């Protein structure tokens, strides 16, 4: 799909310098710009590229003053970075605006599907599922029995949602993620017998889950991701965990069973949290930290494994790095003391 400079400028409330009729059908970095693409200049470090880029259109700030001739058509806006972000969002909406139900998908007769939905090839919607309006279900998605999916939610290719799951409105779940697989519970005193997992997973509105995540169903009750939660790729959330509103977890986070994470928390990559803990609101945890005790103070920042308050960890780390030298000095002192005794 092509768009002219005139159409783009109108959408961004910008003004055009150059050919109003020039058309683009792709987006590029300014240093990699090709004919038929649109780019932007916001960071002064990249100014050099505007004179050599082959991008057909470049979005710039209103106050940009070129010092050399420019071949591209310019669209001047108040804030080029924000405008380009707006353009990316518009482009994504057009790109992902799929509709229609594939003839080689399967939808059980007892299930209901709202208006303007897309169901791709080999997607399966099982008994008594309820799908809202404008839901995008990409190829090879499996939606189990009694699952509910809210309006405007997108399930990318290969997502699997086990029975009884509840997915809210305006959610995005990326490829390969599994929602509702069994929690990891076995009766060790009974020869490792598996404990049945009869709960479900509840995902509220405006949640985004990255690719290849696993959200376990509860043993009893629900594993819950509250509104606005964002999970990166390769995150594991165990049975009966609750993550409260607007918390962000980066890749490789693992949260063990029955732990509650507060609101507005931010966890960097590879954080591990043991089970049955409570993590206070606004907690920040640095990468590769291990949490073995509940965090009760709002706004705590932690680092290390086992984790400690981040400023304390940084001070201690100076000693960690010098530990071998400290040991050598102690050994020398012991030798001196033994000679003098």
| SS3 category, 299 | coil
d(CA 251, CA 326): 36
Q: Do residues 209 and 234 lie in contact, with contact meaning Cβ atoms separated by under 8 Å?
A: no
User: Which of helix, strand or coil describes residue 12?
Assistant: helix
Handedness of CA 43, 45, 50, 55 (dihedral sign): negative
CB 289 within 8 Å of CB 307: yes
The DSSP line for 149-180 is E-TT-EE-TT-EE-TT-EE-TT-EE-TT-EEE
Bridge partners of residue 44, in order along the sequence: none
- Going by the DSSP 8-state scheme, the letter that residue 214 receives in this structure is E
User: What count of other Cβ atoms lies within 10 Å of the Cβ of residue 335?
Assistant: 10
| H or E, element range at 84 | helix 80-95
Distance, CA of 336 to chain centre: 59
- Torsion on CA atoms 290, 294, 298, 299, rounded to nearest 10: 0
Q: Which residues of 75-89 are buried (b: 16+ CB within 10 A; e: fewer)?
A: bbbeebeebbebbee
d(CA 183, CA 262): 21
Give helix 310-321 / helix 323-340 axis angle, nearest 10°: 60
Which residues are known catalytic residues? 239
Please give the Cα distance from 214 to 257 (Å, whole number).
13
């Amino acid at each position: 799909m092509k768009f002219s400079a005139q159409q783009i400028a109108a959408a961004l409330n910008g003004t055009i310098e150059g050919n109003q009729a020039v058309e683009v059908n792709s987006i590029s970095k300014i240093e990699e710009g090709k004919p038929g693409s649109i780019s932007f200049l916001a960071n002064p470090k990249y100014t050099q590229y505007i004179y050599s880029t082959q991008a057909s259109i470049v979005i710039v700030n209103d106050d940009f003053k070129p010092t050399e001739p420019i071949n591209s058509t310019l669209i001047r806006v108040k804030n080029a970075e924000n405008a380009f972000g707006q353009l990316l969002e518009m482009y994504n909406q057009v790109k992902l605006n799929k509709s229609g139900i594939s003839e080689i998908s399967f939808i059980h007769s007892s299930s209901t599907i709202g208006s303007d939905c897309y169901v791709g090839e080999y997607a399966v919607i099982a008994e008594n599922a309820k799908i809202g309006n404008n839901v995008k279900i990409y190829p090879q998605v499996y939606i189990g029995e009694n699952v509910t999916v809210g309006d405007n939610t997108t399930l990318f290719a290969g997502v699997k949602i086990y029975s009884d799951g509840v997915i809210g409105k305006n959610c995005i779940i990326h490829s390969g993620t599994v929602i509702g697989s069994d929690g990891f519970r076995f009766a060790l005193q009974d020869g490792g017998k598996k404990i049945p997992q009869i709960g479900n997973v509840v995902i509220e509105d405006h949640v985004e889950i990255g690719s290849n995540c696993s959200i376990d169903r509860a043993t009893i009750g629900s594993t819950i991701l509250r509104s606005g939660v964002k999970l990166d790729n390769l995150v594991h959330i165990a049975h009966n965990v609750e993550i409260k509103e607007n918390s962000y977890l980066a890749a490789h986070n693992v949260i063990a069973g029955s732990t509650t994470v507060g609101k507005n928390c931010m966890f960097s990559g590879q954080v591990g949290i043991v089970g049955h803990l409570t993590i206070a609101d606004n907690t920040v945890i640095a990468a590769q930290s291990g949490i073995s005790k509940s965090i009760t103070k709002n706004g705590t920042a932690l680092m290390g494994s086992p984790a400690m308050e981040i400023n304390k960890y940084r001070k201690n780390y100076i000693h960690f790095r010098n530990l071998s030298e400290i040991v050598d000095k102690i050994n020398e002192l012991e030798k001196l003391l033994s000679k003098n005794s």
